[in-house]
Chains A and B, each alone.
Chain A
Amino acid sequence: MADTGVVEALLRLVEKADDGVDSVQVASRLGVDHQVVVGAVKSLQALGDVISADLCSSKHWELTEEGTEIAEQGSHEARVFSSIPLEGLVQSELMKLSFGKIGFSKAMSNKWIRVDKTHEGGPRIFRTVDSIVDQVQEKLLLLQKGSGSELEEKEKNELKKRKLLSEVTVKSYWITKGSSFSTTITKQETELTPEMMANGSWKEKKFKPYNFEAMGVAPDSGHLHPLMKVRTQFRQIFLEMGFTEMPTNNFIESSFWNFDSLFQPQQHPARDQHDTFFLSDPALAHEFPQEYLQRVKKVHSEGGFGSQGYKYDWKIEEAQKNILRTHTTAVSARMLYKLAQQKFTPVKYFSIDRVFRNETLDATHLAEFHQIEGVVADYGLTLGDLMGILHQFFTKLGLKKWVEVGNSGIFRPEMLLPMGLPEGVSVIAWGLSLERPTMIKYGINNIRELVGHKVNLQMVYDSPICRLDS
């Protein structure tokens, strides 16, 4: 709030002036800085239509520091002239004076002085005229008195070029009475206080209006990661559909569960060094359900269970190799095998967890990502059931074009029957990555901005809640 004294004085001045006052003049009349008056104008404006103030700007000339010095003591050249006695002055002596250098060249060009270079004892300077008129000083004095209008623009510019003069723009207000002008103003309160509430003074007070254009203060809070927010929603969808979550907290898997149990042949390219991370320590898995392993071996190498098999030499050494799992289906295989070791009951399983691929990395591919997987096992499931359940799932996601984002299918009998699942049981399954829908949802183009330490924390702070179907 501006100084109330100034505010009141300003209002009195405005009251007296019929057609208004200029804020600069007010400042000089009140003997305060112009900014103080501007502050008073602003605070009055905030009160409503007490005054009206139009911004106007005016230009005037002002002497620079050097200009002020010249106005007092004469121009450099005049001072040079006057410091040269009739018998002349050694040039080097002159140059020692503060104004010597500039004044000398200017006086030379005005032809007030001359140099005798041949003089014994070094070059010496002599007056060439008897007297001079110091026009520069005269002009500056005129300007200082405020009578600059007598000078021509050209002359002013000349002085400006010599940095003796500068043009100053003054922004000021032209202040007139407003529609609700009054010389007495009540001070506005900024905020409601407990005291006001206690003594009821808030009833009489006027309150300063809020600026509703401004942003509020950001709350001091923590934030959840957007990918994890999307994960939560996917879990929710599966739970709504009656799916039980699989324990996928085993990143290290044997090739047996990751590939062989799924009836993936041992020469499959996915089992290449180029696609899968193998372990050097612990390099091998050491324990398998032996009876089951024998059945898996048989179905690969000889067939059976209605299958021709792949007819190749299945090696336990290949199955033992430990890897970072390349899909969560390895866990699904374990769960289905466990299911087959009990009385069969229909199940619906899901998981969302990390999987690993030793792939070439780019803007959309990382060596690890999250796989979403759904599995249904029951008697007599059909392709129509698979398509129906996928439709339901993707409808919950709010995705229309779901073909592009994932894979789905019915597990082969060569996978299920060796596990010991009953003949009539079918298992349908589908999977997709968590990252891709998240990137689409949050409009992220580079996966590194989303996952890993290069994440943009500001993005995390700013990301909205995740509603997949909206």
Chain B
Amino acid sequence: MPTVGVNRDLLFRALGRTYTDEEFDELCFEFGLELDEITSEKELISKEQGDSKASGASDVILYKIDVPANRYDLLCLEGLVRGLQVFKNKLDAPRYTRVSPVSGQPQRLIITKETAAVRPHAVAAVLRNITFTQERYDSFIELQEKLHQNICRKRSLVAIGTHDLDTISGPFTYTAKPPGDICFKPLNQTKEYTATQLMSLYKSDSHLKHYLHIIEDKPVYPIIYDSNGIVLSMPPIINGDHTKITLKTKNVFIECTATDLTKAKIVLDMMVTMFSQYCSKPFTVEEAEVVCPDGRICTYPELAYRKERLSSEFINHKVGINESTENIAQLLTRMCLLSRATGVGDEIEVEIPPTRSDVIHACDIMEDAAIAYGFNNITRTTPRTYTVANQFPLNKLTELLRQDLAAAGFTEALNFALCSQEDIGDKLGKKISETRAVHISNPKTAEFQVARTTLLPGLLKTIAANRKMPLPLKLFEISDVVLKDDTKDVGARNSRRFCAVYYNKSPGFEVIHGLLDRAMQLLEVKSARGDGYHIQAADDSTFFPGRCAEVFVHGKSVGRLGVLHPDVINRFELTMPCSALEIDIEPFLGHTAETLLTHDVPMQEVVRHKFPTLHEPPQALVSHPASTKTIFGDMSTSVGLKALNDFLADKSYIEGFAASQADTAVFDAIPSAPSSNLCHLMRWYNHIQSFLRERPSLPLAKGQFVLPSTPPPSSNANDNDDDFDLFGSDDEEESEEAARIKEQRLAEYAAKKSKKPALIAKSSILLDVKPWDDETDMAKLEECVRSVTMDGLLWGQSKLVPVGYGIKKLQIGCVVEDDKVGTDLLEEAITAFEEYVQSVDVAAFNKI
């Protein structure tokens, strides 16, 4: 995040009022900025260079403000003030216009083809009749510097040159020449230098030396001349002294040369939108023409306004608020994004001004709406995303093992994954070329030359740094090393290791060996050759000859243990004998080593997504449902849809925790895509829609959710009830006796069942009835509700439940006969009492 330092008093003068530090901090927060520091030039200098240097410096209070990295329009006082004033509704965002010169032709910058080899792009513009003061001038210079450091990437992408137009005459030529052929008097120098001389002159310049590398090794350097051969600048290094801007300068020629044309246009727009404020006709910019080597003529600055259309629903949904279209348009307008409701549905037309190059997607507009709304005003909600947590098996094993290794008396160390080549090579008696180490190309110190291939050096260094601790030292670490591996997309992979060391007056091989035995016990590997683990003498230059063994698990080598070679111990600045163990623990994952949990991605895409390269027509309409009746009500009514919406508020699916045919059945019952104010339904609808291709393979529904459009004969209603055989036997060879008993029981059961009267399907429903406000007479409301009478409806108990702000809802239960009373009917009847009832929701629905 760039930090912009502004003079507090100037800022307040421009804002037209003063603030306390706290008030201003608050204002910054509201606007999405952060007041980072309150300081002064004096304080800054004394902090960096000591009090003595600061004695003469200014005491003027500076505000250091953190600005989001892509908000180039807030990098100077002018932009900050403009942004804040618009935000506070004290100012309408100015309209920036490009104008032709009052008389004559526009200024011209001709690019020659030689520039292609070094810096091919250029744009230009003119600020006419500008009035500088010292403060404006300082801000003008400072903005160039800020742009250079940020979007211009230290001048490598774009370099800005500003010139007193009255000292030169166009057309201007942007070309590139060998450094020896360039000769001019650079800014603030007294004599002429060739470009070659300049490059060596600026080698010792604390500021300019950072930019030399951009062109240093090029055969030709970029250079801009006027029609008389006067040098304007040698971008991206330095301007000529001749065209220097002073407080008296009236007309400014701005050129930006670049390797990235898009950024050059943004930078030019930024310069002219910020400082055209001080032109005699504020916010107008005189155009300039740029002639490309191919003869094309482009006019700059672009000052392009772009229009986007989006819905207020999009903003409301993404932010999690519920504001009217007009309100949202106002919020956006306060963020300098002039917006209006188009009147077509909830559509908003947003105009993105040239100052807001950061707005490249509707989501950026959404973010600005959220800022203007105030993050602190957004209600915090909990995502209803239901998921089951899983541990990464390797980490789970690591966590469990760590606990028990500490319990075995070893202390956990934590070392860096990066180290020097020496640490994993020479010091261990190995050749670095024989390790499978990955090498870092740009380490700042030897500490970061390679990624470690073994945990041992880290543990030995830990001991060396803790020699004062009482012996013995027993350390372990379980962590990753990195090895080159051609089978991986990046050519390297991690390997999880367990390493332990024992450092004492005696080598203690038996201690380390005992730890291996314990670890194997913990990992349920028995001591046996072949299908268990065993150790076997091995040669290894890290270890004392004859004191090293290789660990085999299920016949495969997983690591080594032994007494370290005295040379190795000495190289780590240690003096006592030491034994060590290091093994790979990934072979112990067993069946948990699932391929599912890996960062490896499929290189071939199997699922064919539709990507919006062409304008896609909306999803094909789903064929009209046979029935819209569901247990949630009639899906062709808003009441029914609302009931389903409420049901889905805390559920992902109609049944259980996975998509099933219950979902698709209910989905089919919905005649058309639900409206977006039913957000839970909408989420579920979209989600289920995405299953349509594979719907036949989804699990069958356990219950019936969609009701036939014509009521079926009641005798059939319960047919399915007893059909579940969850624990059905697979045993087909039933004995005759068993078969006989079974038959008999079935006969008895059928007889018993036939005696029972036909069951009537009933449901118990809990309704939430919400009043209009806290003044609604709830007793009267309840009376109204209970006055609803239908065949097959029985009212039950009720209670009042507070919902907030003094408002209470009536929660009332009832039992209905499914065939006679539908929830939609019931809700319609209740909502008919319009003066009392605002809405009716099904809070619970249970089949009896």
A interface list, Cβ under 8 A from B: 220-225, 227-228, 232, 235, 238-254, 267, 269, 273, 277-292, 295, 303-312, 322, 324, 331, 334-335, 337-338, 340-344, 346-348, 354, 356, 358, 360, 366-368, 376-385, 387-389, 391-392, 410, 412-414, 417-418, 420, 422, 424, 426, 428, 451-458, 460-461
Q: Give, as a whole number of angstroms, the nearest-CB distance from B498 to chain A.
A: 14
Which of A228, A242, A244, A287 has a CB less than 8 Å from the CB of B414? A228
Contact B451 A239 (CB under 8 A): no
Q: In chain B between 594 and 644, which residues have their CB closer than 8 angstroms to a CB of chain A?
A: 597-607, 609, 611-613
| Chain B residues closer than 8 Å to A245, beta-carbon distance | 389-392, 395, 597
Question: How does the 8 Å CB contact mask read for B740-765 relative to A, with 1 for contact and 0 for none?
Answer: 00000000000000000000000000
Smallest CB gap from B416: residue in A: A452
Contact A453 B363 (CB under 8 A): no
Question: How does the 8 Å CB contact mask read for B399-413 relative to A, with 1 for contact and 0 for none?
Answer: 100110111111111
| Chain B residues closer than 8 Å to A457, beta-carbon distance | 411, 462, 466, 469, 473
Q: How far is the CA of A389 from the CA of B320 in the complex (A)?
A: 13
Q: Give, as a whole number of angstroms, the nearest-CB distance from B458 to chain A.
A: 6
| Chain B residues closer than 8 Å to A344, beta-carbon distance | 687, 690
Which of B19-27, B173-181, B375-383 lies on the face that meets chain A?
Answer: B375-383
Task: Using A342-B607, A368-B418, A422-B690 as known contacts, say yes or no to A389 and B438 having CB atoms under 8 A apart.
Answer: no
Task: Using A251-B494, A305-B612 as known contacts, say yes or no to A388 and B382 having CB atoms under 8 A apart.
Answer: yes
Which of B59-67, B482-490, B839-847 lies on the face that meets chain A?
Answer: B482-490
The reply on B491 being an interface residue by CB < 8 A is yes
Q: How far is the CA of A252 from the CA of B488 in the complex (A)?
A: 10
Q: How far is the CA of A344 from the CA of B318 in the complex (A)?
A: 19
Which of A238, A267, A295, A412 has a CB less than 8 Å from the CB of B157? A267
Task: Using A282-B491, A378-B383 as known contacts, say yes or no to A222 and B409 having CB atoms under 8 A apart.
Answer: yes
Contact B683 A380 (CB under 8 A): yes
Contact A412 B363 (CB under 8 A): yes
Contact A391 B395 (CB under 8 A): no
| Chain A residues closer than 8 Å to B392, beta-carbon distance | 245-249
Question: How does the 8 Å CB contact mask read for B366-398 relative to A, with 1 for contact and 0 for none?
Answer: 000010000100111111111111111011000
Can you sample 15 A-B contacts with CB below 8 Å?
Answer: A248-B392, A273-B442, A280-B439, A280-B441, A335-B599, A343-B607, A347-B385, A360-B444, A366-B416, A378-B385, A379-B686, A387-B375, A387-B380, A453-B413, A453-B416
Q: How far is the CA of A434 from the CA of B319 in the complex (A)?
A: 29
Contact A232 B399 (CB under 8 A): yes
Task: Using A249-B480, A278-B441, A379-B686 as known contacts, say yes or no to A346 and B493 having CB atoms under 8 A apart.
Answer: no
| Chain B residues closer than 8 Å to A224, beta-carbon distance | 402-403, 406, 411-412
Smallest CB gap from A231: residue in B: B399
Q: Give, as a whole number of angstroms, the nearest-CB distance from A427 to chain B.
A: 11
Smallest CB gap from A335: residue in B: B599
4 shortest A-B CB distances, which residue pairs? A384-B320, A382-B320, A282-B491, A453-B461
The listed residue with most A CB atoms (<10 A of its CB), out of B362, B407, B609, is B609
4 new A-B contacts at CB < 8 Å, known A252-B438, A420-B611, A458-B469: A244-B387, A245-B395, A308-B361, A452-B416
Contact A254 B490 (CB under 8 A): yes
| Chain B residues closer than 8 Å to A247, beta-carbon distance | 392, 394, 597-599
The reply on B113 being an interface residue by CB < 8 A is no
Contact B691 A451 (CB under 8 A): no
Contact B416 A376 (CB under 8 A): no
Smallest CB gap from A331: residue in B: B599
Contact B363 A292 (CB under 8 A): no
Q: How far is the CA of A344 from the CA of B690 in the complex (A)?
A: 8
Q: How far is the CA of A384 from the CA of B378 in the complex (A)?
A: 6
The listed residue with most A CB atoms (<10 A of its CB), out of B375, B444, B491, B679, is B491
Q: How far is the CA of A251 from the CA of B370 in the complex (A)?
A: 36
Q: Give, as a whole number of angstroms, the nearest-CB distance from A68 to chain B.
A: 47
Which of B317, B395, B412, B416 has a CB less than 8 Å from the CB of A368? B416
Tell me the interface secondary structure of chain B in the complex.
loop
| Chain B residues closer than 8 Å to A251, beta-carbon distance | 417, 451, 480, 482, 494
| Chain A residues closer than 8 Å to B283, beta-carbon distance | none
Contact A242 B388 (CB under 8 A): yes
| Chain A residues closer than 8 Å to B412, beta-carbon distance | 222-225, 228, 460
Contact B469 A277 (CB under 8 A): no
Contact A285 B491 (CB under 8 A): yes
| Chain A residues closer than 8 Å to B607, beta-carbon distance | 340-343, 420
Which of A239, A279, A342, A385 has a CB less than 8 Å from the CB of B389? A239
Task: Using A280-B441, A410-B363, A455-B413 as known contacts, say yes or no to A222 and B406 having CB atoms under 8 A apart.
Answer: yes
Total A-B contacts with CB atoms under 8 angstroms apart: 317
Which of A273, A281, A288, A389 has a CB less than 8 Å from the CB of B489? A288
Q: How far is the CA of A331 from the CA of B652 in the complex (A)?
A: 27
Smallest CB gap from A411: residue in B: B363
| Chain A residues closer than 8 Å to B601, beta-carbon distance | 289, 334, 337-338, 341
Smallest CB gap from A351: residue in B: B392
The reply on B520 being an interface residue by CB < 8 A is no
| Chain A residues closer than 8 Å to B474, beta-carbon distance | 222
Contact B683 A379 (CB under 8 A): yes
B interface list, Cβ under 8 A from A: 153, 156-157, 260, 262-263, 317-321, 360-363, 370, 375, 378-392, 394-395, 399, 402-403, 405-418, 438-444, 447-448, 451, 458, 461-462, 464-466, 469, 473-474, 476, 480, 482, 484, 488-494, 496, 597-607, 609, 611-613, 652, 679, 682-683, 686-687, 690-691, 694
Q: How far is the CA of A282 from the CA of B409 in the complex (A)?
A: 39
Q: How far is the CA of A456 from the CA of B360 in the complex (A)?
A: 50
Contact A453 B387 (CB under 8 A): no
Q: How far is the CA of A354 from the CA of B494 in the complex (A)?
A: 12
| Chain A residues closer than 8 Å to B416, beta-carbon distance | 366-368, 451-453
Task: Using A282-B491, A341-B602, A451-B416 as known contacts, say yes or no to A412 and B361 having CB atoms under 8 A apart.
Answer: yes
Contact B418 A367 (CB under 8 A): yes
Smallest CB gap from A225: residue in B: B412
Q: Give, as a whole number of angstroms, the nearest-CB distance from B745 to chain A.
A: 44
Q: How far is the CA of A30 from the CA of B690 in the complex (A)?
A: 105
Contact B383 A312 (CB under 8 A): no
| Chain A residues closer than 8 Å to B602, beta-carbon distance | 289, 338, 341
Contact A354 B417 (CB under 8 A): yes
Q: How far is the CA of A360 from the CA of B476 in the complex (A)?
A: 29
| Chain B residues closer than 8 Å to A238, beta-carbon distance | 389
Contact A306 B320 (CB under 8 A): no
| Chain B residues closer than 8 Å to A378, beta-carbon distance | 383-385, 683
The listed residue with most B CB atoms (<10 A of its CB), out of A245, A331, A348, A417, is A245
Task: Using A243-B389, A252-B482 as known contacts, say yes or no to A368 and B612 having CB atoms under 8 A apart.
Answer: no
Contact B389 A287 (CB under 8 A): no
The listed residue with most A CB atoms (<10 A of its CB), out of B153, B381, B461, is B381
Which of A225, A242, A249, A269 has a CB less than 8 Å from the CB of B494? A249
Q: How far is the CA of A250 from the CA of B451 in the complex (A)?
A: 12
Contact B438 A384 (CB under 8 A): no
| Chain B residues closer than 8 Å to A242, beta-carbon distance | 386-389
Q: How far is the CA of A292 from the CA of B605 in the complex (A)?
A: 8
Contact A322 B381 (CB under 8 A): no
Contact B484 A281 (CB under 8 A): yes
Contact A287 B489 (CB under 8 A): yes
Smallest CB gap from B457: residue in A: A453
Contact B153 A267 (CB under 8 A): yes
Q: How far is the CA of A308 from the CA of B359 in the complex (A)?
A: 9
Q: Give, as a whole number of angstroms, the nearest-CB distance from B1 to chain A.
A: 11
Smallest CB gap from A390: residue in B: B380
Q: Give, as a whole number of angstroms, the nearest-CB distance from B162 to chain A.
A: 23
